[in-house]
Amino acid sequence: MKNLWIIAALLLLSACAMNAQEKQVRIGVLGLFHTREVVISSLTGKPLDCATGEERWPMREPLRLVLAGTMIRIEDGHHAAAGSFTCDDGQGGPAEFTVNIPGKISRRYLGKLEIKAQPRELLIIIGMDVETAVASIVVAESPPHAPMEALKAQAVAARSFLAAGKGRHSGFDFCDTTHCQFLRQPPAADSPAAQATSATRGLVLAYKGRGFAAMYSASCGGRTHSLEELGIPVRDYPYYGVICDYCRRHPEKWVAQISEADAANLSPTESSRLKLARKLGWKTVPGNSYSSRTEGGEVVLEGTGVGHGIGLCQRGGADMARKGASFQQILEHYYPNTELKQY
């Protein structure tokens, strides 16, 4: 009987460890800068232990790391170069620190830091709790002054994406750009974004009992798109075209001019739009709802909406919240036939 209790206890510990691991995400950050140099600093009064291989030490002063061939050189005169560099709170848990790319950007993070030497740049990865990531995404993605219920809807959508959307990158789960989701430094605990995250803690969207990586866009042009309309294969959720009253009444208009040769390769699919955007710039065709006409040897595109226009419309959701809709009603409108489940 004693052995059975021991086995049961070990199984419970294993399950808890797996559950904790599932609620962690590894996010590649600041990759757009392709940096070869970075400065890591601890926050005043916050523990930060760093390691390279077998060597571990508490950080006292900012450390400058420089890519040197296939190694990371630590420019403090005390620590040897290594292929990777990690930091945590000294107990294997999350720590607070700043990552500074000299002359470009400095950002605070809460999590476990990992830096790897790549052939041409340093790869910076933050391992963080899902809820920390959600709050950081909500504050980065939401429209200014969005009501609390809209922020809650955004939190559920962001968490759903994190829970079901892994595998978009090799070596880490997600990036901090629009390819995945914007992510900035974590907001203060009393901020609206943090409160919205806490109020919806663990909630994700599910279709036919299965969670899916929820998509959303800044504005939809008056009607959202289904995956089929944009030539995107349906995997977990088909999405549905729904009317967005706010964007119908207040369309976000745009105009672009492209050559006839480029227009010949433009079709009403998301992949075609993205391909042209990579060639001509991301603001060339900002949305999927547009008309075209030829003028002066060029093709003029006139459109409404910014983003792919799939799923939650952030402007429309904010307007629904201002009119008294709950976050559940917002999600039900933009993700029909779905339910909320605990992650």
Task: Quick: pLDDT tens for 229-240.
Answer: 999 999 999 999
Catalogue the E-assigned strands of the chain.
Answer: 24-28, 37-42, 49-52, 55-58, 63-68, 71-74, 84-88, 95-101, 105-117, 122-129, 174-175, 203-207, 210-211, 216-217, 253-259, 289-295, 298-304, 312-313, 339-342
Which pLDDT score, from 0 to 100, does residue 14 have? Answer: 37
pLDDT of 9 over the 80 cut: no
pTM for this entry: 0.90
Helical H segments across the chain, by residue range:
2-22, 130-141, 148-164, 192-199, 245-249, 260-264, 270-280, 314-322, 327-334
Same-domain status, 44 and 69: yes
Lowest mean pLDDT among 8-17, 26-35, 131-140, 167-176: 8-17
Report d(CA 332, CA 35) in Å as an integer: 42
Do 110 and 185 reside in the same domain of the chain? Answer: no
pLDDT level of residue 78 (50, 70, 90 thresholds): confident
pLDDT at 11: 35
Mean pLDDT for all residues in the chain:
92
Question: Sorting pLDDT into bands at 50, 70 and 90, what band is 190?
Answer: very high
- Give yes or no: residues 33 and 165 share one domain: no
Evaluate whether residue 102 is within a structural domain. yes
Mean pLDDT of 240-258: 96
Residue 60 lies in a domain: yes
Q: Counting beta carbons within 10 angstroms of the beta carbon of residue 131, is it exposed (0 to 12), middle (13 to 18) or buried (19 or more)?
A: buried
Looking at the domain assignment, is residue 13 inside a domain? Answer: no
Q: Which residues pair with 65 in a beta bridge?
A: 38, 74
User: Would 40 be classed as within a structural domain?
Assistant: yes
In this prediction, residue 22 carries a pLDDT of 53
Strands 174-175 and 24-28: parallel
Of the residues 99, 128, 157, the one at which a domain ends = 128
Same domain, 157 and 225: yes
Q: Are residues 57 and 115 in the same domain?
A: yes
Does residue 3 fall inside a structural domain? no
Say if residue 32 is in the same domain as residue 121. Answer: yes
Q: Is the domain of 48 the same as that of 114?
A: yes
Q: Are residues 232 and 218 in the same domain?
A: yes
136 within domain boundaries: yes
Residue 3 pLDDT > 90, yes or no?
Answer: no
pLDDT tier for residue 343 given thresholds of 50, 70 and 90:
confident
**Are both 94 and 233 inside the same structural domain?**
no
Same domain, 195 and 320: yes
Same structural domain for residues 179 and 268?
Answer: no
* 12-28 tens-digit pLDDT: 333 333 344 458 999 99
The answer as to whether 85 is a domain residue is yes
> Is residue 54 very low, low, confident or very high in pLDDT (cuts 50, 70, 90)?
confident
Domain of 276, in residue numbers: 253-304
Overall number of domains in the chain: 3
Residues 90-112 have a mean pLDDT of 97
* Residue 45 belongs to some domain of the structure: yes
- Any bridge partners for residue 174, and if so which? 27
What pLDDT, on a 0 to 100 scale, did the predictor assign at position 53?
Answer: 82
Contact 316, 220 (CB under 8 A): yes
Candidates 221, 297, 291, 287; CA nearest to 258 is 297
Q: What is the pLDDT of residue 184?
A: 93
* Residue 73 shares a structural domain with residue 102: yes
